[in-house]
Structure 1
Amino acid sequence: MDKISRIATQKNSKSRYSIFLTNGNLERYGFSVDEAILVEHQLRKGMELDESTIQGLTKEDTIHKSYSMALHYLSYRMRSEKEMSMYLEKKEVDEEHISIIIQRLKQEGLLNDLEFAEAFVQTRLQMTSKGPFFIRKELIEKGIRDDIIERALSLYTFEDQYQKALQWVNKKRTTKTKKSFQHQLQGLQQNLLQKGFASDVVKEVLKEAREGQEEDSEWEAIVYQGEKLIRKFNKQSEGSAYKQKVKAGLYRKGFRLEYIDRFLEEHLNGEY
């Protein structure tokens, strides 16, 4: 049976110790352990260790080192169980040890998918313009179960969605554009759905945006688009066909008929 002949602090880490063994007169390096394991097992000079005990201490130390890596990974932000598992796999931790580490982290309250999901939703709600369907996709990618996702997304209320979507729409509408208001709404609708907002929320937001339409901006846009069409068709058609092409072009661009008729009257009636 081996006996501990010497315990030395490692140069690169004051919290780790090298254990030297002897089985007679010849001393050899045996293994190394963290200070926590040294204290827990009361390792000391002269203590006898059989092979199974040495293997057990080595395994425990390996798990402890991997556990320390997991704690370091958690120090930056909360993690899901899947994120932690993938991280430890990347660090080439044994699969058996990963299960042990994750279970310990859960028991100590350091790994909790519900708390992670709720914090994730709150952060996205405060820091981004993403809707709940987009956030759901992100949580699925992080390995969160459907029932947990549902509970977490309950924090993202209809009112939250409405205010966030409306704020985004109002910001976009301040950007100068020469598109018809209808085409603007179509683009906004597509973008809001892509951002993950519910269709009923999008409908209500666009309804309010439509009620707040600015007449001057719409007229400015139709004049811009109409004059482009006049230049385009000027050399291609004559008479009423020319006028009809301009009218059809403006209609395809989403302008309302009353705007189109007004534009044609002011810009083409003198010509045809």
Structure 2
Amino acid sequence: MAKLTKITTQKKHKNRYNIFLDRGQGEAYGFSVDEDVLIKYRLQKNMELDDATIEALIQTDTLHKSYTLAINYLSYRMRSEKEIRDYLNEKEVDSEHIDEIVKRLYDEKFLDDQEFANSLVRTRIMTSSKGPLLLKKELLEKGVSAQQAEEALTHFSFDKQYEKARKFAEKKLKNGGKKSFRQQLQNLQQTLMQKGYGGEIIQEVIANLPEDEEEGQEWEAAVYQGEKLLRKFERKTEGFELKQKIKQGMYRKGFSFDLIDRFLDEYCEE
């Protein structure tokens, strides 16, 4: 048996207390506990503690510290169960304690994977241009089940997907640079796929974009790309062969034959 001889407040952590014990060889530091543990077990001077009780107090305090870590981690934003488990594993928390902490967090409504998934989808809709396929991938990576992910994605309706994809497409086209309208559309389709939008949404967006490219802008792009091709090939070839290489290059870049012929007439000497 050991007698509890003194309780002192830690200097750096005012809610933690050092417990001093006398095991028959004089007073010495025994262990430390959080204020909640101190109060729960009514620790006070002159109490008699056996080894089993001391070990139980230490384990209880360790569990409490780990639980506090989890609560602090949750204070910044909602987390999935997998995120909590991964975080506590990184902090080298005992696996049995992790299970107990996770159960307690569920019981106290601090943990709910379905609500976490719903919240993440709502947030991404407001703050990102990601489509539903990317959002589902993100949810699955965070440990949310496929069923929960599908449920959360019901918040991302077809109309909302279309609206976000359309705005992204219009912005992308405005910043298309010196590319043909056709090439911009091809790049846009690829980008929307990479963003996680499905084929139906992409087709709907593309179908509702302006059908006719702006003539002046398209001509500027044709001149820019044509001159690049001209500089590339004029040192290697000339005449008909040079024109053919430029024509082929411009066609691959999405320009119409009318614009290609106009460029060749105005910029390539016979």
Determine if the TM-score, normalized by the shorter chain, exceeds 0.5. Answer: yes
Verify: 1:35 aligned to 2:59, yes or no: no
What displacement does 1:26 show?
Answer: 3.0
Verify: 1:128 aligned to 2:125, yes or no: no
Alignment match, 1:74: 74
Gaps of 5+ in 1: none
Change (3 A) 1:202 1:37: same
What displacement does 1:224 show?
Answer: 3.3
Is this contact kept in 1: 2:121–2:156, CA < 8 A? Answer: yes
- What amino acid is the match of 1:172? K
Is this contact kept in 2: 1:243–1:268, CA < 8 A? Answer: no
TM-score by length of 2: 0.88
Secondary structure at the counterpart of residue 133 of structure 1: helix
1:156-181 CA distances to partner (integer Å, 9 max, x unpaired)?
11111111111111112112522111
Instruction: Measure, in 2, the Cα distance between the counterparts of 1:5 and 1:193.
Output: 69
Secondary structure at the counterpart of residue 6 of structure 1: strand
Verify: 1:21 aligned to 2:21, yes or no: yes
Alignment match, 2:249: 249
Alignment match, 1:157: 157
Alignment match, 1:52: 52
- What amino acid is the match of 2:149? I
Is this contact kept in 1: 2:176–2:184, CA < 8 A? Answer: no
Gaps of 5+ in 2: none
Alignment of 1:110-129 (within 5 A): 110-129=110-129
Secondary structure at the counterpart of residue 143 of structure 1: coil
Is this contact kept in 2: 1:125–1:156, CA < 8 A? Answer: yes
- What amino acid is the match of 1:161? Q
Alignment of 1:213-252 (within 5 A): 213-229=213-229, 236-239=237-240, 243-252=243-252
Verify: 1:192 aligned to 2:206, yes or no: no
Instruction: Measure, in 1, the Cα distance between the counterparts of 2:102 and 2:66.
Output: 11
Instruction: Measure, in 1, the Cα distance between the counterparts of 2:212 and 2:238.
Output: 38
- What amino acid is the match of 1:238? G
1:60-100 CA distances to partner (integer Å, 9 max, x unpaired)?
01100111111111121111111111111111111111111
Instruction: Measure, in 1, the Cα distance between the counterparts of 2:178 and 2:24.
Output: 92
What displacement does 1:262 show?
Answer: 5.1
- What amino acid is the match of 2:98? I
Secondary structure at the counterpart of residue 45 of structure 2: coil
For the aligned residue pairs, the C-alpha RMSD in angstroms reads 2.4
% of aligned pairs identical? 52
- What amino acid is the match of 1:8? T
Instruction: Measure, in 2, the Cα distance between the counterparts of 1:68 and 1:224.
Output: 62
Is this contact kept in 1: 2:178–2:221, CA < 8 A? Answer: yes
Instruction: Measure, in 1, the Cα distance between the counterparts of 2:115 and 2:243.
Output: 64
What displacement does 1:242 show?
Answer: 5.0
Verify: 1:106 aligned to 2:100, yes or no: no
